[in-house]
């Protein structure tokens, strides 16, 4: 009888222990499911990177593309190259939970390789307008359930309200080039056309979309009052002396007066949180030069 009772008690203990272990396991699993997964972001757009930092989420970024140059903290992060040449392996190696990209920048094949790894690819539409920029900032904040401080959008408006009208509007030609043998000019519906107009100027060229190669004919026919370049071009084109040697430059008003404006590329073309700052800065340079 005693043996029977002992066996019964031992068996009951085993059952109770097993039940307790199962309940503990279920509780841990439930806690894991309910606990938010740590956010790790790879940003494949300089503008999106700026927005993430502006929203106070910069510490969540684990990797960026080559266009991400602001703020200075990004230079401490792994650089993944240009979005057009990325491989799934390199992205997955950083173990991100989210990859932020501009719409259409990543191929469907690449996205399909990232999905099984549990990575959420968030694609955002870009519009080169003030309203489009504000909408982009709002959408990024919404994607991460982040409250958008009023000050972010107010800062944009404060700067834009300081932009003064310039009459007549100066003709500005944007030249992009890594070397004197590879120069492009910005046409219609480009970020450069939009920022030039937002800053009180007018794009010196028209009649074509996107970018086209710079030619002697384009320079002479457009006859810009100012030539706008990225800061990086000053070095890659061997300074103002090198720019002056570009065929046709000296035949333009800008060339004769050495009206060259060099600005940070991401700032002036990014249409991110600093869009107001960019427009005001270019406006001031055009206005001072125009006086």
The 10s digit of each residue's pLDDT in 82-130 is: 898 999 999 999 999 999 999 999 999 999 999 999 999 999 999 999 9
Question: Residue 151: phi, psi to the nearest 5?
Answer: -65, -30
Longest alpha-carbon distance in the chain: 115
**Tokens 């800065």, residue?**
281
- What pTM did the predictor assign? 0.84
Strand partners, 261: 228
Domains and CATH numbers, the chain: 41-149 (3.40.50.1980), 171-290 (3.40.50.1980)
pLDDT band at 236 (very low <50, low <70, confident <90, very high): confident
Contact criterion met (CB below 8 Å) for 180 and 206: no
Q: What six digits make up the tokens of 221?
A: 């026919």
Cα(36)–Cα(210) distance, integer angstroms: 42
């Amino acid at each position: 009888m005693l043996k029977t009772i002992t066996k019964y008690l031992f068996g009951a203990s085993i059952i109770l222990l097993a039940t307790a272990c199962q309940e503990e396991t279920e509780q841990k699993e439930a806690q894991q499911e309910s606990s938010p997964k740590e956010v790790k972001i790879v940003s494949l757009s300089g503008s999106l990177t700026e927005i993430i930092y502006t929203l106070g989420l910069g510490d969540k970024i684990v990797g960026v593309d080559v266009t991400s140059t602001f703020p200075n903290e990004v230079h401490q992060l792994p650089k993944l190259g240009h979005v057009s040449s990325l491989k799934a392996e390199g992205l997955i190696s950083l173990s991100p939970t989210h990859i932020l990209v501009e719409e259409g920048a990543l191929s469907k094949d690449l996205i399909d390789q990232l999905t099984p790894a549990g990575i959420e690819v968030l694609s955002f539409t870009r519009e080169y307008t003030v309203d489009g920029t504000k909408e982009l900032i709002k959408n990024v904040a919404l994607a991460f359930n982040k409250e958008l401080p009023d000050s972010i959008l107010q800062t944009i408006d404060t700067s834009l309200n300081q932009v003064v009208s310039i009459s007549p509007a100066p003709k500005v030609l944007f030249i992009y080039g890594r070397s004197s043998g590879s120069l492009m000019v910005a046409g219609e519906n480009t970020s450069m056309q939009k920022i030039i107009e937002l800053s009180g100027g007018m794009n010196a060229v028209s009649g074509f979309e996107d970018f086209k190669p710079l030619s002697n004919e384009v320079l002479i026919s457009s006859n810009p009052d100012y030539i706008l370049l990225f800061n990086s071009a000053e070095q890659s084109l061997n300074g103002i002396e090198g720019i002056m040697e570009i065929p046709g430059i000296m035949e333009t008003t800008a060339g004769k007066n050495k009206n060259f404006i060099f600005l940070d590329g991401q700032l002036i073309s990014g249409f991110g949180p600093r869009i107001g700052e960019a427009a005001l800065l270019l406006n001031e340079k055009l206005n001072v030069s125009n006086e």
